[in-house]
Amino acid sequence: MDSRTFIIFNAALVLLLIFFFIKGRKQPVPSKLNLKGPKRLDGAAPDLTMQREENTKQLTIYFNFNGETLEAYQVLGLPAGASVEMAKNAHKELMKSPKVESTDVYNQALDAILKVRS
């Protein structure tokens, strides 16, 4: 066997192995997703919108300060959903504190609470 036939034989063998490797691989089957949502027995489309009742109380109030979103009650050190009076009292106590460096964040937290609650 001369070198030319040896190279042709090996090239054909490599091509045959590549063909079997590509052809023999099974394609992954994607999973089926249920994007239609829950089905109702009466055939009507389900109502997936969130509707807020008029008498419900919003517990968390968010505001932006220096590019960050903060929770107003947490900034003032209060539990979520605290009353406006509690927020005003906490704001006054924080303003009396000698270690307060910047009052802007506390003022904006109180303003956010008053804006939503009033």
When comparing pLDDT for 20 and 27, which is higher? 20
For the chain, domain boundaries = 62-117
Token duo for residue 15? 């091509």
Query: What CATH architecture does domain 62-117 belong to?
Result: Orthogonal Bundle (1.10)
Contacts for 104-109: CB closer than 8 Å, 24+ residues apart:
104/65, 105/65, 105/70, 105/75, 106/75, 106/76, 108/63, 108/65, 109/63, 109/70, 109/72, 109/73, 109/75, 109/76
pLDDT band at 38 (very low <50, low <70, confident <90, very high): low
pLDDT band at 33 (very low <50, low <70, confident <90, very high): confident
Write down the pLDDT at residue 26: 72
Closest CA to 73 of 94, 57, 82: 82
Listing DSSP states for 20-83 in one string gives HHHHHSPPPPPPPP--S-PPPTTSPPP-------TT------EEEETTEEEEHHHHHT--TT--
Question: What's the mean pLDDT in 87-95?
Answer: 91
Quick: pLDDT tens for 51-65: 656 666 668 899 999
Write down the pLDDT at residue 21: 81
